[in-house]
Structure formats: structure tokens, C-alpha cells
Amino acid sequence: MFSISEIMDTPPFSLNREQKSKLYDRALRDLSEHHRQRCTEYQRICQTVQDEAPFLPVRLFKDYELLSISRDEIIKSMTSSGTTGQKTSKIYLDKETSANQTKVLAKITSDFLGNARLPMLIIDSKVVLRDRNMFSARGAGILGFSMLGRDRTYALDENMELDRTGIEAFLEKYQDSDILLFGFTAMIWEHFYKPLQERGISIPKGILIHGGGWKKLKDQAVDNDEYKKRLREVCGLAHVYNYYGMVERTGSIYMECDAGRLHASIFSDVVIRDSRDFSVCQIGAQGLIQVLSLLPMSYPGHSLLTEDIGELTGEDDCPCGRLGKTFKIHGRVENAEVRGCSDTYEKR
């Protein structure tokens, strides 16, 4: 049986196409068997579609509780983002899966940030973490990424307004140090960038990691390049790293490098499928994004078909030097529910 411990010490972007293919042939087969033996619903799906390792539509997690563990092994539950009235996915974690998510997230991000833990400014309010047993996707993201920094300080108060006093004290304390900023894409824009710009406050330097839905920003004609440009104007950022992830795939995120490509690490993979017949698309063709992960042991989330449209941009050929597949996002399937943390947040 495959164990993630086999590759935990392997650099996260060091396997080429042939090496990774051999790994995934074995690992996904073992993971599928693991979930067939432990999750009745997954076993029925395999029998119905006559596939030993089917990709599950992420929407299934809104309608069914898919577990490969007993309920007394659950240590944490997480829910996806959703606007009022929408169903949300619910993901259950055991100790092993939760620990591996944390380790892998740290390994992937350290490849971009280095191993030093920087002083961290979280562009959100700490009230989102009140319930430590039932996390929203937003809370899970904050908790996961907060492990990457030290002296974590929240930039927004409970009303999602700038905590100007707290920010200024943080900046004064670390005026001679690099800082790490983290938040969700549209929330950073609305509750951090715009107020900073209006009030003439500047962040002298830092590194920003952000993720989440882009719909609100695209409605304002703000794309990825414009976003980086404008944030750098007020924050003096050395690097801006976007990431692609979801609550069903916590830990095994896809980070965007300085060349503007999203990267699949050795802990995850990506396939683009034609929406008409689900055949595999070639590099440069758009289709539905299928995400693969070697982490989920407590639920059958190792092979999921998303409602996002994407395009492979290459494999083992990124200018940044990292191996593996690279891709970009073009948006969501028409009429699909909005699910990004930034897009679903409503000030109350």
C-alpha cells in the first residue's frame, strides 16, 4: 500500500514526467482500493461506472457524506465556501490526513518562500476562527497558511475594517525585516488594498500569498497582472504568489510561480478534460480541470472533477525550473455555483 511518507522528503517539484507517472500509477491504484474497502458510497460509484478509479464530481460532496473512516476517528470537519442558500461540501479529516495536509502545505510553500518563518500579516479578521472543530474553507485556509509565519497579526477587525493601529505597530516592529502577507484574493482588494490606497498607508516590503475566487475582480476588469501591479504600488511586494486550491484538496495546493504558471507538485497532479466526452485535452486546449492528490485517506478525494475551466501550459519546461505540469485557470463552467472564499464573503 502506498504511503505519503515515501515521498515526504522528496523535493516537491523534482520529479519529471516519467518518474511521476510511475509514482501515480501505483499510488492512485492503492488509494482507490483503500477507499473502495472503506467507503460504501465510493464502492457503489466504482461499480456503477465500471471504473476502478473514477474521478468524482466535486458536487457529490455537497449531497453525500463520503467517509473512509469511522466517525470516532474524525478530528476535524471542513465546509466549502457558499453563498446563502447554497449547499456546501463537508470534508472529514482524521489525524493522519490532517497532519499530512499541514506537512505538504509547508513543503510546497517553502519551495517559494524559503524555510525561514517570516513575521506574518493576515489580511482577514480573527473572528473567522472561533469554531476550531468546524472550519469553513476560509477558516481552514487561514489556519493552514498561518503555520508558515510567526507573530501572526490580523490586519482587519471584526467589522472587516483596517486595524490601522495594529498594522502600524506590526510594521514598526518589523521595519527591518521581510514580512509575509496572506489573504483571499477579492477580500484583499476590497478590504485592504482600497483602504490603504484611500488613506495613503503603504506597506514598505513583503511577500504576498493569495487565493480564492476571481469573479468579483473580473467584474471590475481586474485581472491577475493588474492585481499584482496595483498591490505592488501600495505594498512594495517582492513577490506575489497566487494559488489554486479548494477545501476538498486542502494541503496539496497549486502555487503560481514568477513566470505566471500554476504548478502541480509531486503530491498532486492535474488533467484537463474535454467537457463533451471527458477525453484528455492536449497542452493549449481548454477543458474541465481534474485534480489528483495523494493526501486524502479519510475521504475519497484523491481524484476529483472540478467545475473550473483550465488549460495545460506545459510539463517539465517552466522557465522557473520546477518540474511537473503547469496550467492556468480561465474561469468556471457556466451556471456553476460561485465557491471561492473571496467571492462568497458578504459583510454582515
| Residue 175 lies in domain | 14-342
Structural domains counted in the chain: 1
Report yes or no on 2 lying in a domain. Answer: no
Global pTM exceeds 0.85: yes
Report yes or no on 258 lying in a domain. Answer: yes
Report yes or no on 1 lying in a domain. Answer: no
Over residues 274-295, the mean pLDDT reads 97
pLDDT in tens, 167-222: 999 999 998 888 999 999 989 999 999 998 888 777 878 999 999 877 778 777 78
**Of the listed ranges 13-27, 89-103, 194-208, the one predicted with least confidence:** 194-208
pLDDT at 348: 38
Percent of the chain at pLDDT > 90 equals: 67
Over residues 266-277, the mean pLDDT reads 97
Specify the amino acid at residue 308.
D
**CATH number of the domain to which 205 belongs:** 3.40.50.12780
Report yes or no on 323 lying in a domain. Answer: yes
Task: Give per-residue burial for 41-50: e unless 16+ CB within 10 Å, then b.
Answer: bbeebbeeee
Report yes or no on 123 lying in a domain. Answer: yes
For residue 68, what pLDDT band results from cuts at 50, 70 and 90?
Answer: very high
pLDDT at residue 10 is higher than 50:
yes
Structure-model confidence comparison of residues 249 and 43, the more confident one: 43
- CA angle 242/106/288 to nearest 5° reads 45
pLDDT in tens, 37-58: 999 999 999 999 888 889 999 9
Q: What share of the chain is helix, strand, coil (3-state, %, to 5)?
A: 35, 25, 40
Over residues 133-160, the mean pLDDT reads 85
pLDDT at 342: 55
- The CA distances from residue 47 to 42, 44, 275, in Å, are 9, 5, 23
Over residues 307-322, the mean pLDDT reads 97
